[in-house]
Structure 1
C-alpha cells in the first residue's frame, strides 16, 4: 500500500512513521510539513533516520500526494482535515483523520464544542474505534480516528452500557494523561517547570472529548446520555489511565459484569483483560497498541469502577490509525502492530 502522512512532524505523525516503518505492507510515499518543508525527517526527529529518507514537502503538493497514495493519514489540528477531505472526495484515496473533524455524526455538535464551522457536512465518514466499529470501517472512504481520552474511556464503559448493566445517568470518567497529548507546540501548561512534581485537572466540564464519549456510549445504549468527564495532566510523556464509575442497576451482580467484559473483548487481540480486581498501569502498555482493562464491583455502594490504560500516542492515536488502515485494506489487524510494551 502506498501511504502518505499530512502533518508528519507532530508527535502523532512521528509515531505513525515509527509504526509504518515496521509495517510489511506499507510503502511510505510522501510526508508533509509546513514548518519543516525541505528538511529530512531525521533533522526533526533523529530517532526516525532509518525509517524515511525522503524530505518533507508542503501540502501545496496535495493533489500529487493523493494521486500517488492508497491511504492518506491526516495528523493536523482540528479544522484542517475537512478541507483536505472535501478536496479529495472524488479521488480513490482513503483518508484516516487523526483529528476531530470526522468523528461526529452530528456536525452541529462538532461546531458547538470546537468553535469552527464544519465545511464537509455531507462526508461519508465513519468513527474509527476499531473494536466497536470494525464493520463500519471496512470499505469506508473516510475514517475519523477516535481520540485518546475517548478510546480509553469508551473501551472501559462500553461493555457495561451495551449490556444495560448500569444506570446511564451515573457515568463519571476521571482520566489522567501524559503531556504528549497536548501536542508538540510550546505551552506554559506543559512546560517542565509547571509539570514537574505536579498533577492538575483542566477543562472540567468542558473538554472536547466529552461529546465524543457520549456519542459512542449513547449509540451503544440506543439513547442519548450525558456524563461527567474530568481530564488531568500528569508529569510523564506518554500514557492515559481512565478510571470510570457507574451505578449498577438493581439486581445486577458481579458475575454479569465479568461476563460483559469477556463477551466484548475475549477475542480482541489488542485488549488485555486483567479481570475483576485488576489494576491496569500505563507503563505496562507504553509504546504498544494494547488497551489493558480491569474492573471492580463495589457492592457496598452498588458501583462498578472500570479502569483502562493505553499509550495515548499508539492505541490513542497512531496505532489505532494503523489498525484502522489494516481493516480498510483487509489485512490482519495486528499487522505492523505486534509490538511488546517498552518497560520500564
Structure 2
C-alpha cells in the first residue's frame, strides 16, 4: 500500500544534504576561481567554458525556436517531434543546465512553463529508463535548485509544482516494477500501465539506472516506495550475476534468465556501474558500495584490455567483442 505523501519544501533554515549538493555543484560551475585540469591554463579553461556555453545555446535556442513544445528537434529538417512522450522533453532536460550556466531568467521561465503546462495523464507508452533519467531527473534537479536560496537560482514564486509533477510521474512508472524479479519492464503506458504485449526483456542499464531519482523522490516526500522498488531492481540484477561477478546486457524480467550474456561497460550496461557508485555517494548506503566494488573489480579483471575495454561472456570470460564503443566514454570519470 502506498504510504501517505507529505511534500517537504525547504525554503529557509538549514538546508538538506540534497540541496547542499545542488548548491555546491552550481558554485563549482559558476565561480571564476574553480580548479582546472592539469596542463590547462585558466585562460584556456575560460575559452573552453565559453565554447561549451555557446554549443549549449546553439542547440537549446534551435530547439526553442523550431521544435518547442514538442520533445525534440530534428536537426536536418529543423522540425520538432514528440519522440519520447510529448511533454517538452528537451526543455525539462535542459532546466538544470540553464541554472548551471547562471541563466536565472530562462531557468525561471522554463520552470514556470513546465509547472503550468506539463501533465502526465496521457495515453502514451514511454521508456522507463529515458523517462526516469531525463524527465523525472530533470524535474527533481530543477525543483531542488529552484527551492533553495543557497543555489543562487531560487525562484521566490516557486511553490513545489515540479515536485508534484515528479510524484505523479513516478507513480505512473510504478506498474512497470510489478514483475517476479522486481526488475521493471522496459516501457509503461502512463495512463493504463504495462501493455499486454510489452516485451519481458530489458537491459541491465534499464533496470539499474533508477536509484538516484527514485531515492531522491522518496526523501523529498517521505514515501519509501520509490526507493524500495529501485533498490529491489538493483538487487534483482546483482543476484543473477555470474560466478565471475559479471552481469549480462539483457535479462528476462519474469524468469530472471539472461537473454544476452555479453558483459561490458558500454551499451546496455554502462549506467548500472555509474548508479550503484553514485547511490552510495549520495545516500551513504553501504550495500551499493559493496555492489560497485565487486562489480568494478570484475570489470577491471575481465574487461580491461589496455588501453580499452572489451566485451566478454559473463560466465566464461571469453572475448565476444574486442572493440571499444562510445558509451564506454563515461568510465574514466567514474574512476576519479
TM-score by length of 2: 0.29
**Higher relative contact order by CA 8 Å / sep ≥ 6: 1 or 2?**
1
**Who wins on radius of gyration, i.e. which is larger?**
2
Please state which structure has a larger fraction of its residues in strand.
1
Please state which structure has a larger fraction of its residues in helix.
2
TM-score by length of 1: 0.29
